[in-house]
Structure 1
Amino acid sequence: MLSCLQSTVRVLVVDDHELTRFSLKLALSLHKSIELVGLASNGKEAIEMFERERPDVIILDLQMPVMDGLSASKHIKNIDPDTQIIAYSSVADPQTEVMSQTAGIDAFCHKDAETNVLIDLVKQLGLPGIN
């Protein structure tokens, strides 16, 4: 039987730390259902890559130079409210309720979480009904 469901989730990673971007790139590349479409180091680059690549899910650091993640999230959600955004942060409890209402954050993942937790979240948001 043929299915119209999407089988690959397109992901953009945004973090100002090169090691974090590289680590996430490696972790995401191990999953056939995930396609990494770009790496950005700040919110301004994130918006530019988003407009070019149109990812399904964005893993977005909150604290970055040039433009922070919350500002970038607001801008991206204004362009496409269906884009799923995961706030990826080391901040203890960034008040996810406030973030989701004001900046359009769809989920939060603490940087201390195990890699499989983040991967599962990406699949859950990007491939609803498949995982």
Structure 2
Amino acid sequence: MRVIVADDQASVREGLVLMLDLLPDIDVVGSAGNGEEALQQVTRHRPDAILLDLHMPVLDGIETTRRLTAEHPEVAIVVLTTYADDRSVLETLRAGARSYLTKDADRLHIAQALHSAVAGLSVLHPQVQATLLAATGVPHAPAPRDLPDGLTRRETEILALLAGGLTNSEIAATLFLSHNTVKTHINRIFSKTGSRDRVAATQYAQRHGLS
């Protein structure tokens, strides 16, 4: 997998390049110190993915993400940043980033996020998941108790997110699950609750105090 690393702090950037280059399945083909350089590197090297700092000079990570999504939609964008505030998370994801990690993520976690992003999946740091849920007003799943109709804890959690208006892709990103896994869970939820669609499942969740 061909990757570009973009971070305005030289020590962080060089450390990430060295760290990722040690992995046998990742080839760092370029690095950049700001958003404009990142765009130039992507145009030059045509990577599979870019590991992108959010707060950079010249062109910040959010605007860089918008430009990359518009000009190079085939490149998977993984944001790596110190921050996990509401505005940054939501704006970056809306701009087209597939994954959002904080800088305390280890090498294997970063590599997993890059591979998942290239495969079209999303990975969100747990702190980012919580921030996203809070910002969108989606409730957490209820505390453990006797669940109706044989629903499992995970199915109840997914039902709560579904009832909160999240799409399958958003549920997958929030819970670190693949899109297919979420779809399988939702089909089971429909079967167990006798729901024909998402509207009926939402009504079920509201009746049973699960949302």
If the TM-score is normalised by the length of the shorter chain, which range does it land in?
0.7 to 0.9
C-alpha distance in 1, partners of 2:91/2:119?
25
1:47-86 matches, within 5 Å, as 47-86=39-78
- Quote the Cα distance in structure 2 between the aligned partners of 1:126 and 1:30: 19
Q: Is the 8 A contact 2:62 2:91 kept in 1?
A: no
The residue number in structure 2 matching 1:125 is: 117
SS of match in other structure, 1:92: coil
User: Which is helix-richer, 1 or 2?
Assistant: 2
Q: 3-state SS of the aligned residue for 1:59?
A: strand
CA, structure 1 residues 23+68, in 2 after alignment: closer, same or farther (shift >3 Å)?
same
Residue 82 of structure 2 corresponds to residue 90 of structure 1: yes
What is the RMSD computed on CA atoms of the aligned residues?
A: 1.8
Q: Distance in 1 between matches of 2:3 and 2:114?
A: 8
Structure 2 counterpart of 1:88, one-letter code: L
The C-alpha deviation readout for 1:69-120, integer Å capped at 9, x for no partner, is 111111111112121101111013345344222x111100101122221111
**Identity over aligned pairs, percent:** 34
Query: Bigger shift: 77-86 or 44-53?
Result: 77-86
User: Larger relative CO (CA 8 A, sep 6+): 1 or 2?
Assistant: 1
Alpha-carbon distance between aligned partners in 1 of 2:80 and 2:68, rounded to the nearest angstrom: 16
Contact 2:20–2:107 at 8 Å: present in 1 too?
no
TM-score by length of 1: 0.83
Distance in 1, matches of 2:91 and 2:56, equals 19
Correspondence for 1:22 among 14, 17, 21: 14
- Distance change >3 Å, CA 94–CA 114, structure 1 → 2: farther
1:100 aligns with 2:100: no
For 2:86 and 2:30, how far apart are their aligned partners in 1? Answer: 25
From the two aligned structures, give the one with the greater strand fraction.
1
Q: Normalization by structure 2: what TM-score?
A: 0.53
* SS of residue paired to 2:66: helix
CA offsets per residue over residues 41-80 of structure 1, 9 Å max, x none? Answer: 0000001111111111100001011110111111111112
- What is the aligned partner in structure 2 of residue 3 from structure 1? none
Q: 1:98 and 1:69, CA in 2 relative to 1: closer, same or farther beyond 3 A?
A: closer
Equivalent of residue 111 in structure 1, options 85, 96, 103: 103
Q: Distance in 1 between matches of 2:86 and 2:76?
A: 18
Q: 2:39, 2:74 → 1: CA distance?
A: 15
3-state SS of paired residue (1:113):
coil
